[in-house]
Amino acid sequence: MVPAYYVDTSVFGGYFDQEFREPTRAFWSALLAGEWHALVSTLTIEELIDAPPEVRQLIKDLPPGRLTVLPVTGEAQDLAARYVAVGVLGRGSGPDGLHVAVATLSQASAIVSWNFKHLVNLRRVRGFNGVNLMMGYRAIDIRTPMEVIES
């Protein structure tokens, strides 16, 4: 079975960022080769609206069947609010919690991100998973593109 990775907005920008370009492009090549499937949410699509044209074009250039766009449901909003309520994230980081909640509910293989402050952060991952388990959901792994391509 092909893994389905929830790709947050930072990975799209990382494709053109000098620091993250090489591993992001290797990760993207694996997607194009059919080694994995991309999951994004409608929130991701909204966040990309203000991105530079070349970043927005990345999602448009994906072949059919390589991407699934997931809705931000009421259940996802409730789970994201719980992350904030228990202090895993601050109130201003609600969108990051929505990404985690949508990925959790979609049974994503992992979340892939370059957001070290709010997502790829051991303390936060433990917090997200503590809430997930307490609420009856499964734990979710959060990794960088580099970690995924090296595994």
Q: Crossing angle, helix 74-85 and helix 94-105, to 10 degrees?
A: 130
Q: Which domain range does residue 141 map to?
A: 4-150
Contacts of 35 (CB under 8 A, 6+ apart): 2
pLDDT at 151 over 90: no
pLDDT single digits (tens) 6-37? 999 999 999 999 999 999 999 999 999 999 99
**CB distance 87 to 41 below 8 Å:** no
pLDDT at 140: 97
pLDDT at 1 over 90: no
Instruction: Read off φ and ψ for residue 121, nearest 5 degrees.
Output: -155, 120
Average pLDDT, stretch 65-73? 96
CATH code where residue 39 lies: 3.40.50.1010
Q: Which helix (H) or strand (E) holds 37?
A: strand 37-41
Whole-number Å distance between alpha carbons of 120 and 124: 8
What is each CA distance from 40 to 19, 44, 81, 135, 138, in whole angstroms?
A: 23, 6, 19, 23, 19
**Does the pTM of the predicted model rise above 0.75?**
yes
- Per the structure, the count of domains in the chain is 1
Q: 107 is written with which tokens?
A: 């049974």
